[in-house]
Amino acid sequence: MSKLIVLLKKDFTAELRSKDIVLTMLLFVLLVIVTFSFAFEPGSIEVGVLAPGMLWISFVFAGVLGLLRSFVNEQQNDCLLGLMLCPVDRGVVYLGKALGNIIFMLAVEAVTLPVFALLLNFDIWRFLPAIAVIFSLCTVGYAAVGTLFSAMAITMRSRELMLPLLQFPISVPLIIAAVKATGGILAGQTLAEVSGWLKLVGAFDVIFLTVSFLIFEYAIAE
Amino acid sequence: MQVHERLNDRWVTVLGIAVFITMLLTLYGVFLYAPTDRNLGHVQRIFYFHVPSAWIAFLAFGIVFVASILYLVLKEAWADRLAHASAEVGVIFCTLVLLTGPIWGRPVWGVWWTWDPSLTATLVLWLIYVAYLMLRSQMPEGPSQARLAAILGIIGALDLPIIHIAVHWWRTLHPKPVVMQTKGFGGGLEPPMLQTFLVALLTFTILYVYLTVLRYRHESDKAELASVKRRLQA
Amino acid sequence: MGKASVVEAVGLSKQFGHFIALHPLDLQLGSGEFLSIFGPNGAGKTTLLKVLATLMKPSSGQVRILGLDPSEDGIAVRRQISLVSHSTFLYENLTAYENLLFYGRMYEVENLPKRIAEVFEEVGLTSRQRDLVGSFSDGMQRRLSIARAFLHRPRLLLLDEPYVGLDPEAAHNLGKVLAGLHDGERSLIMTTHNISRGLELCDRAAILVGGRLVYDEVRSAISADDFEATYLAAQHQARAVRPPRRFDGGGP
């Protein structure tokens, strides 16, 4: 447990200094949102209808970039091998990376929402608590499989292609649930009314956190 | 070694003959024996290929799942080869499902593609296992490739039920898929139709085993050849 | 040797598919010993170290490190050993100090700040400890990676070709650090194909070619000239029967 914090601290120190993971994701998300706005002419559309898709498409793509970056740092100087040599269960190394990625992604989402609301003149604040629940749950699952897959993809020739190729199909249920639940909330539903989706996401989170925790040591090259 | 090989050969030949005979039977059943569907007409006959293909895709990916776990536990090359062979055959049958689905859907639903839950889930399934094959092609043959492929083989299979639920909820407003009625497997079929369907199912299963065995042997031979070459070079 | 065995391998082998990286070999290392393993590229030196470092499982045979079975007590073994490889395992976004702090905490080193100061002193990087590792020269990074490796006072230190890519001055400095680490308590295994460097420090020299341990002798019984001849002969002989070192086939 304390090692988990040590691992997290290491990632935070590095990230606070270089900010490359969060900045990469944030810039990408903003670009997507701005591009979307041009494509759909703001004002003429119902933002509430479009918002879930827009937000989640940008997070899903940005997430892939951030996940890859977090392992590029580990790959430099074979640090991952150094971690494997540490007297700690490899599953804990996985949890450390996954938690870091979850927090980085959530940070990006937290910054994106107000900017999104501002740019599209959309009142997102009254939905905030429900949105926070949905985004947190979905981000956990996305980063859970994403951390495992980026550890795998990082060793491959075209990792920028391979990670989305692995990540997107597996995350389909997550993306559907995220968009549907977010859409429901923006359309005035309560959390209880979208609880079916949240349970599905919860199941996804639990299953893939557990499996990845157990299987991670095989994902690291011998 | 040689006796063993010959025995294998004989079994493969038997399998091949079995596929040939049952396939003839299936074709007879599909086009001559089974009556034309009253509502759907001839297009209904594609059902005898579509559903068994879907069954084989599931079977194949199920075997990938089991072989992947076996590989991670045992670290035996045969488990990896089995997973690889089964995934390739599975992708072919999954492709068949995706092709025959729209051919059926066009006259029945009036469009080539609808986001019907089963069809959508199959599409996602197809994407996962195409990624699986891509992953294999991305890496040199060897233990690393086998390990990473096994991980995806396991994750993919675990994701299937979740995908199914998600996709069904997503498309709740659509009609229930016509081929798999709630009454159960072929519940609404006339006896000759049901018989034809069962024969087709059997045929495809044998065909799957046959193709997988061939593909598996091909991989074994490749490895064998590589090691012989190496010994000659040395 | 008489002392407690630090490494005890019996019939250790490693196979990748059809490729045999290590033929079954026996290896003993006593406490405080410094063993140099010589061998050309692809001889299986790195594989052997990786197995001893618990990064790989042997295909067959028994390995005990400090009396423990690495496949069962991997974490306990890793706590007491260390590996210096061609890669430094250092985070370039972190300062030298932060790197050691991180690894020190992972190894639960007691009295960590004091120990870090000590270690910096030993490798002569005290004045640079607050600088980002990314700004270090290769030689300094290598020194820091060695500091990282003995930070937790490992009882067994594995060094994989530490001299590769070092300029003469850095190599000289490394030699001094290694001599300091060879204190009679700690055991060291170093792989290299640099005969003079390897012989200079060791108590015992072994030759690994084509995945076979073909020579193993205490240093006092070796004359440098004879050894060079033996090494070349072994290498030559091995080339005649050695399979090429391409990996292929399934299997672990």
As a whole-number percent, the residues of chain C with pLDDT over 90 amount to 32
Residues of C within 8 A of A222 (CB-CB) are 50, 55-56, 252
How many angstroms separate the CA of residue A165 from the nearest CA in chain B?
6
Among C85, C87, C107, the residue with its CB nearest the CB of A87 is C107
B4 located within any domain = no
- Touching subunits of B (3+ CB pairs, under 8 Å) are A, C
Calculate mean pLDDT across residues C160-171. Answer: 82
- Touching subunits of C (3+ CB pairs, under 8 Å) are A, B
> Per the structure, how many domains does chain B have?
1
- Give the Cα separation of B136 and A166 in Å (integer): 12
- Give the Cα separation of B199 and A39 in Å (integer): 53
Residues of B within 8 A of A158 (CB-CB) are 138
B25 located within any domain = no
State the ipTM, two decimals.
0.90
- Give the Cα separation of C171 and C155 in Å (integer): 23
Round the average pLDDT of chain B to a whole number and report it: 85
Among A170, A211, A215, the residue with its CB nearest the CB of B128 is A170
CB pair distance less than 8 Å for B75 and C241: no
What does the pLDDT read at residue C1?
A: 41
- Domain boundary assignment for chain C: 5-89+144-241
Round the average pLDDT of chain A to a whole number and report it: 90
Instruction: Convert the pLDDT of each residue in C45-88 to its tens digit.
Output: 889 999 999 888 888 899 999 989 888 888 999 999 999 988 89
In this prediction, the residues of chain A whose per-residue pLDDT falls under 70 are 1, 42-45, 221-222
pLDDT band for position C249 (50/70/90)? very low
- The whole domain housing B141 covers 44-233
| Choices 3.40.50.300, 3.60.15.10, 3.30.70.980, 3.40.50.10780: CATH for C5-89+144-241 | 3.40.50.300
3-state secondary structure chain B: CHHHHHHHHHHHHHHHHHHHHHHHHHHHHHHHHCCCECCCEHHHHHHHHHHHHHHHHHHHHHHHHHHHHHHHHHCCHHHHHHHHHHHHHHHHHHHHHHHHHHHHHHHHHCCCCCCCHHHHHHHHHHHHHHHHHHHHHHCCCCHHHHHHHHHHHHHHHHHHHHHHHHHHHHCCCCCCCCCCCCCCCCCCCCHHHHHHHHHHHHHHHHHHHHHHHHHHHHHHHHHHHHHHHHHHHC
pLDDT at C158 over 90: yes
What does the pLDDT read at residue C4?
A: 66
pLDDT at C9 over 70: yes
CB pair distance less than 8 Å for B142 and C241: no
